[in-house]
């Protein structure tokens, strides 16, 4: 289908006719031969001598070519476009940040699998998180790992394969042995600053209590609430342990409550899988479908035809007239 982006340009079509109709013709002075008895001839003819001029005439081919070239120029100015079939694109309407604790306590082998085996906490968590990420097709995600400090592994991206690959390479202790829960929330807030999407979800998973943050987790959660970041906090590990190995469930509950999110506690792989399924129910994936028609400009075609027509007309007038003059002289 062909459409015109500048239909107003067709209003210019009658402009040459209006100029020809309502403005005086161009007059050009040329040398003339004067003779002594000119006034006697004028008196004999009963006319009054005045200043004269020559109005140049056009050949028919010039007029036709000029009209066609003007129509082609107006057509190009109207910006003809070839409109393609509708194309729909699906874009994420939500950004998700995964913040995963990789402190020394995540090396404990007390995380139960469906087969009643006990595996490393991080290994069990990684398996469930991978299935969750694989189901996020269409969302933009970022990955943060934290221990004694928080580190951004990937910024917000829809390249989920990269997130899965980096998650596979993540090992316990890479970020230090302690737990900087508040710093992880703060880094998540800074990550969301590059997002212009309203729905922002932080999934925070930890098995310890905050011992290394420069900002307390609750203060960080308060700032997150002001930035419209919703936090889903997941606790894994042993709440009855001592020191940094004890998961601080109360703090995780308060963090989630401050931002309008949810708190969960997962003792094993099945429970953790159920937590992520519940997150899908509470915060289902939102997408925006954008529909557009690809447009290809065709203005070059009338412009090209106008140029060719003008060149052909000039060539005909120049060489055709010369050839006719040569033939006339030959007949003489």
Task: Provide the b/e sequence for 280-297 (b: ≥16 CB within 10 Å).
Answer: eeebeeeeeeeeeeeeee
Stretch 253-265: mean pLDDT = 90
Question: Percent of the chain scored above 70 by pLDDT?
Answer: 83
Q: Same domain, yes or no, for 163 and 213?
A: yes
Question: Within 13 Å, how many C-alpha atoms sit on residue 185's CB side?
Answer: 34
Domain residue limits at 159: 90-290
Residue with token string 């506690």: 265
Q: Are residues 29 and 139 in the same domain?
A: no
Which of the listed residues 272, 290, 308 is the one where a domain comes to its end? 290
Which SS3 state, helix, strand or coil, does residue 66 take? Answer: helix
How far, CA to CA in Å, does 308 sit from each of 305, 312, 315, 322?
5, 6, 10, 21
Q: Give mean pLDDT, residues 195-199.
A: 78
**Residue-level pLDDT at 185:** 93
Residues in the chain: 332
102, 121: one domain: yes
How confident is the model over 323-328, as a mean pLDDT?
Answer: 48
Average pLDDT over residues 303-314: 89
Do 78 and 123 sit in the same domain of this protein? no
Q: How many domains does the chain have?
A: 2
pTM of the model: 0.62
Cα separation, 215 vs 182, in Å, equals 6
Rounded distance, CA 204 to CA 233, Å?
A: 5
Q: Do 46 and 180 belong together in one domain?
A: no
In sequence order, what are the beta bridge partners of 144? 99, 152
Task: Give the lowest-confidence range in 116-120, 139-143, 232-236.
Answer: 116-120
Structure tokens at 282: 């509470």
Beta-strand relationship, 150-157 and 140-146: antiparallel
Angle, helices 217-226/181-192, rounded to nearest 10 degrees: 20
- Per-residue pLDDT at 219: 92
Same domain for 152 and 175, yes or no, is: yes
Both 241 and 281 in one domain: the answer is: yes
3-state secondary structure of 302: helix
Do 103 and 240 lie in one domain? The reply is yes
Q: What is the pLDDT of residue 328?
A: 43
317 lies in the same domain as 241: no
Residues 188 and 46 in one domain: no
Q: Considering only CA atoms, which of 114, 121, 211 is closest in space to residue 172?
A: 121
DSSP state of 25: P
Residue 72: exposure state from Cβ atoms within 10 A (0-12, 13-18, ≥19)? buried
């Amino acid at each position: 289908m062909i459409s015109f982006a500048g239909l107003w340009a067709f209003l210019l079509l009658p402009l040459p006719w209006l100029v020809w109709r309502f403005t005086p013709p161009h007059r050009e002075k040329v040398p003339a031969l004067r003779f002594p008895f000119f006034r006697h001839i004028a008196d004999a003819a009963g006319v009054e001598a005045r200043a004269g001029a020559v109005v140049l005439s056009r050949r028919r081919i010039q007029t036709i070519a000029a009209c066609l070239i003007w129509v082609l120029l107006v057509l190009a100015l109207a910006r003809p476009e070839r409109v393609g079939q509708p194309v729909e694109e699906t874009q994420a309407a939500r950004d998700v940040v995964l913040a995963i604790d990789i402190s020394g306590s995540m090396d404990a082998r007390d995380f139960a699998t469906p087969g009643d085996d006990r595996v490393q906490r991080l290994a069990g968590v990684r398996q469930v998180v991978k299935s969750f990420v694989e189901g996020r097709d269409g969302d933009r995600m970022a990955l943060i790992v934290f221990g004694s400090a928080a580190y951004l592994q990937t910024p917000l991206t829809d390249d989920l394969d990269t997130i899965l690959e980096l998650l596979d390479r993540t090992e316990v202790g890479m970020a230090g042995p302690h737990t900087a829960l508040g710093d992880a929330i703060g880094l998540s807030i800074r990550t969301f600053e590059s997002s212009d999407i309203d729905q922002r979800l932080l999934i925070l998973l930890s098995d310890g209590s905050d011992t290394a943050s420069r900002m307390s987790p609750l203060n960080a959660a308060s700032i997150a609430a002001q930035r419209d970041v919703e936090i889903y906090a997941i606790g894994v590990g042993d709440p009855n342990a001592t020191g940094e190995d004890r998961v601080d469930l109360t703090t995780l509950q308060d963090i989630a409550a401050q931002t309008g999110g949810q708190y969960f506690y997962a003792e094993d792989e099945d429970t953790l899988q159920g937590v992520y399924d519940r997150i899908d129910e509470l915060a289902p994936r939102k997408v925006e479908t954008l529909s557009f028609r690809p447009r290809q400009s065709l203005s070059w075609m009338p412009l090209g035809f106008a140029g060719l027509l003008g060149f052909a007309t000039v060539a005909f007038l120049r060489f055709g007239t010369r050839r006719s003059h040569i033939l006339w002289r030959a007949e003489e």
